[in-house]
Amino acid sequence: SIDLSSLTKQTGLTALDYGFVNTASTKSKITYIDGEQGILRYRGYPIDQVATNLNFLQTAYLLIHGEVPTQNEYENFEDKIRMHTLLHEDLKDFFSGFPRRAHPMPVLSAGVSALSTYYEDSLDPNNAEQVETSTYRLLAKLPVMAAYAHKKSIGQARLYPDNSLSYVENFLRLTFGNKAEPYVQNPVVVNALERLLILHADHEQNASTSTVRLVGSTDANMFASVSAGINALFGPLHGGANEAVLTMLGEIQASGESVSKYVERVKNKEDGVRLMGFGHRVYKNYDPRARLVKDTADEVLAALGVNDPLLGIAKELEGIALEDDYFKERKLYPNVDFYTGVIYKAMGFPTRMFTVLFALGRLPGWIAHWREMNLDPQTKIGRPQQLYIGEQQRNLPGFN
Ligand code: ACO
């Protein structure tokens, strides 16, 4: 193996690597991906074992601390998070200040950034106790803020958290109010949301996680770093794909066009149309998360008695694409987002909340990476190189 940093120092060599597709920015022990074989593991455990045996907070603990919590460790972790669910009362005015129908993602990132003004006692990245406290605060407050951002966007009053409920039940109640009652009573819906959050909880050095690490490498506090990660996730190429899938399925339904005709248009690259929710930069095989999401879609729609033709269209699209040489040759398979939108829609989330749900799921991953980066003595402030291709020295008038 070549030590690139010493090579750079010795030879002045700089690699130009757009999108850092070939450059490792760090060593990490958190998540392993083999895109060719379709393998994803959290701390060594296969994703299907994690998603079907742990709940979301157990998964968060695993990602952050490296081991599945014992019963005692779990109870302590959950209690600490419960203790921090309330938001400072003044934050009420903060949520009121956004325009009517504000998109919940920027409201969420602004809210997380604002936490550093309310909780100055947990900002020091070099104080282990403060890092612990900001971990609990973020895990506790993000679902509350996400629900408040949603309430703001639909002009409804906010509720206080109910700490007798589980993490996911509480979020459902804060989001849907009384309408959440059947969900909280319905383990299929609660378990499905737990599972979807788990499946989004980490994916190693993706754009938002790399952003969290980069911001954190400046010794910025965890709130500031996670707020930056939420903004990175807001981009349609990262967190917004689940919304795009639902739009595509809706358009196919509305046009009355047959699914196979749509696939032909994709293959002919008409107007650059792509099969949304298909293909992945890393996975060149079936995304292991997509299988679990597909099963979850069937369970949730059956449990809620929803008969959504969009699920049928999605399945037909998948069936045709998997048999087609265009998709086989390019190794294009359904990714995690192909079926998530249909499930969120059945649960009653508006499309603008889909990326917020991704952020809720990804939070433990961001925290785990921030902490790993913060404890690694080899961490340096992130500072990519560039190849300058602009003007050489020239003079302003009068400087000849
Ligand atoms: N539908 C049709 N054709 C596709 C698709 C697709 N979804 N994805 C890739 N291709 C084709 C390309 O046109 C290209 O064909 P060509 O060789 O004839 O030119 C070939 O496959 C390779 O495509 P690239 O864009 O080079 O593949 P890359 O790995 O860079 O792209 C990406 C990955 C961006 C995810 C792409 O597959 C895509 O746009 N998918 C749809 C959007 C989507 O679902 N994004 C979510 C990703 S998962 C996540 O972020 C959580």
pLDDT of residue 2: 53
Among protein residues, the one whose CA lies closest to atom 9 of ligand 1: 279
Atom of ligand 1 nearest to the CA of 358: 51
Among protein residues, the one whose CA lies closest to atom 47 of ligand 1: 280
pLDDT of residue 196: 97
Would the CA dihedral through 61, 65, 68, 70 be positive or negative? negative
280, 331, 340, best to mutate for ligand 1 pocket (most atoms within 8 Å of CB): 280
List pocket residues of ligand 1, CB cut-off 6 Å: 238, 241, 266, 274-281, 330, 332, 335-337
Question: What is the DSSP annotation of 136-174?
Answer: HHHHHHHHHHHHHHHHHHHT-------TTS-HHHHHHHH
33 strand-pairing partners: 40
Output the average pLDDT for the chain.
Answer: 93
Find the 279 Cα to ligand 1 centroid distance in Å: 5
pLDDT of residue 3: 57
Report pTM: 0.92
pLDDT of residue 9: 54
Considering only CA atoms, which of 104, 95, 52, 62 is closest in space to residue 240?
Answer: 104
pLDDT of residue 178: 79
Considering only CA atoms, which of 85, 91, 92 is closest in space to residue 163?
Answer: 85
Q: What is the pLDDT of residues 225-269, one digit of tens each?
A: 999 999 999 987 888 888 889 999 999 999 988 999 999 999 999
Is 79 among the catalytic positions? no
Find the 109 Cα to ligand 1 centroid distance in Å: 28
State percent of the chain over pLDDT 90.
82
Q: What is the pLDDT of residues 324-347, one digit of tens each?
A: 999 999 999 999 989 999 999 999
The yes-or-no verdict on residue 51 having pLDDT over 70 is: yes
Considering only CA atoms, which of 109, 117, 51, 61 is closest in space to residue 90?
Answer: 117
Find the 173 Cα to ligand 1 centroid distance in Å: 37
The yes-or-no verdict on residue 10 having pLDDT over 60 is: no
Atom of ligand 1 nearest to the CA of 338: 44
Q: What is the pLDDT of residues 123-160, one digit of tens each?
A: 999 999 999 999 999 999 999 999 999 998 888 889 99
31 strand-pairing partners: 42
Mean of the pLDDT values across residues 187-214? 96
281, 322, 331, best to mutate for ligand 1 pocket (most atoms within 8 Å of CB): 281
Q: What is the pLDDT of residues 283-302, one digit of tens each?
A: 999 999 999 999 999 999 99
Which of 200, 202, 337, 369 is the catalytic position? 337
